[in-house]
Amino acid sequence: MGKTNFPAIVNGQRSYVHSNETLYVPSLSYNLLSVAKLTNLGFTIQFNGQSADIVNPFKDTKLKADRVSDLYLLCSEEKKDNTASTASTSMDTPSSGYFLKWHVRLGHLNKIDMMNAIKNCSFEGLKCSNLKCSNIDISNFDCEICIKGKPTKSPFTNVHSRSNVKLQILHLCGPVKVRSIGNARYFITFTDDKTCWTEVRFLKDKSEACEKFKEVKNLLERQSGCKVKFLQTDRGGEYIGEKFDDYLKDLGIQRRLTVKNTHEQNGIAERKNRTPLDIARCSLIQSKLPLSFLAEEIANANYTKNRLPSKSLQGKSPYELWHGRVPNIDYFKTFGCEAFIWNNKKIEKTLSPEL
């Protein structure tokens, strides 16, 4: 509970209103003004169909609110050219609330890619009718979680030409240290060069890298009907060994090694590792879960990223290029949200809870 000032149209002019008793709720998506609280303080509220007037007890101050769908939004800008006043923030509309919900569900996907995905109908299950892009102003949309969880640096110029056949080149990146409730200590990613479809695997020891490669290779070859021809890795010791080399030679898979300490040469795999980590950081910050859940969130982040459209793939997702159809995301939920387990066992007591 504290004091605050918020912008509003007061007596026809833009000003600031002071509130002595404001309840701060960090998880709340919108700023709410209680009608009951206002009337208890002596304010009068007049609803006029498409607008509402809030008048103070002395009858000398009037606030304006415009109706948007089934809500009345406090105006913070004066009307211009007979157009409706804007809401208290550029994102305080029902459509933008739906936008924000899916921004979080899709691993804090950046706002430009979100808008492009909506316009291009890149997903099944996303109700684009609830997202009227023309009514959403994303210019002032800043996600605090994204700022905290996605530090960036200047990009490395990419000189890589993409393969035109699935599994012609398979990029392997890692191991990267990670904490897990399942006692995993590292994770590695395997990325198809053509589609950017990525598999992530967790390791208790770096020596497991070869076995994880065999597992992923068999899975991807069975799914695609193609064979791995090149394996591109860095010069990590877990990838350079007699056992791993002999296995690749027996299968006719050629190894491509990047220059030591030049991660940019293995750019696709490096970026694919960074993206799940970015999504994982954002989700853990938002959910307030401990770092011991990082591996679980990386698995979730990779699952999400495989279904997100990418500029490098001409607006398509790895899922669409790998499976030949757009992904259905209707079942997506926010990582770390509250959930209940359905108890389907017969319960003798009729009134016992079923959840």
pLDDT digits (tens, 9 = 90+) for 298-317: 999 999 999 999 888 998 99
Which residue would you say has higher pLDDT here, 1 or 105? 105
Residue 87: per-residue pLDDT: 37
pLDDT digits (tens, 9 = 90+) for 317-328: 999 999 999 999
Q: What is the mean pLDDT of the chain?
A: 78
Grade residue 91 by pLDDT with cuts at 50, 70 and 90.
Answer: very low
Contact between 307 and 331 (Cβ < 8 Å): no
Angle, helices 94-105 vs 111-119, to 10°: value is 110
Whole-prediction pTM: 0.66
Residue 84: per-residue pLDDT: 38
Q: What is the DSSP string of 229-250?
A: -EEEE---TTTSSHHHHHHHHH
- Domain ranges within the chain, ordered by starting residue: 2-74, 96-143, 169-323
Which residue would you say has higher pLDDT here, 199 or 149? 199
Give CA–CA dist 312/24, Å, rounded.
Answer: 41
Architecture of the domain defined by 169-323: 2-Layer Sandwich (3.30)
Q: What are phi and psi of 145, to 5 degrees?
A: -65, -40
Give CA–CA dist 167/278, Å, rounded.
Answer: 26
